[in-house]
């Protein structure tokens, strides 16, 4: 089973993900990002690329697609929170999104990612 991300690693990695649009999920040890693509085909194409990568990692996001918008939440259920696998997948998602023009992210989500820094021992 994967281990929760340590406090030191959270403080190292999460601020950089926060700059890229990832936020903490209230009352969960999880991160979330809402991607907005130019159209449905781009959103679905990105999701397909991500799905293939996730299948190889045997780790799958919680996500919702409505037209050009993809709302993603990452957490490792069997570990009870955020693991390095979630962080790697978040970075891979951002990398794959760079292949599309007109992609942006919603930056007004509820919790800043800093809310998850220093919380590894509390879960």
pTM, entire model = 0.85
Provide the β-strand partners of residue 83: 4
| pLDDT bracket for residue 116 (50, 70, 90) | very low
Q: What is the pLDDT of residue 109?
A: 61
Tokens 């939440």 label which residue?
Answer: 73
Arithmetic mean of pLDDT, 89-97: 97
Which is higher by pLDDT, 49 or 116? Answer: 49
Burial class (CB in 10 A: 0-12, 13-18, 19+), 44: middle
Residue carrying structure tokens 């991500």: 50
Strands (DSSP E) along the chain, which ranges?
23-24, 31-36, 62-66, 69-74, 104-105
Instruction: Tell me: pLDDT of 1 over 90.
Output: no
Quote the mean pLDDT of the chain. 87
Domains of the chain with CATH codes = 7-115 (3.30.1360.20)
| 6 vs 20: CA distance, rounded Å | 21
Residues listed for the chain = 123
Residues 24 and 109: beta-carbon distance below 8 Å: no
Instruction: Write out pLDDT tens, residues 21-74.
Output: 998 888 899 999 999 999 999 999 999 999 999 999 999 999 999 999 999 999
């Amino acid at each position: 089973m994967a281990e929760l991300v340590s406090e030191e690693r959270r403080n190292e990695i999460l601020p950089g993900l926060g700059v890229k649009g990832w936020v903490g999920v209230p009352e969960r040890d999880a991160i979330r990002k809402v991607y907005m693509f130019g159209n449905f085909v781009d959103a679905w194409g990105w999701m397909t690329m991500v799905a293939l990568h996730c299948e190889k990692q045997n780790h799958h996001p919680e996500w919702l697609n409505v037209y050009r918008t993809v709302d993603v939440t990452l957490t490792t259920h069997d570990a009870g929170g955020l693991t390095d696998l979630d962080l790697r997948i978040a970075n891979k998602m951002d990398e794959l999104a760079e292949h599309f023009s007109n992609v942006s992210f919603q930056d007004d989500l509820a919790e800043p990612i800093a809310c998850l820094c220093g919380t590894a021992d509390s879960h």
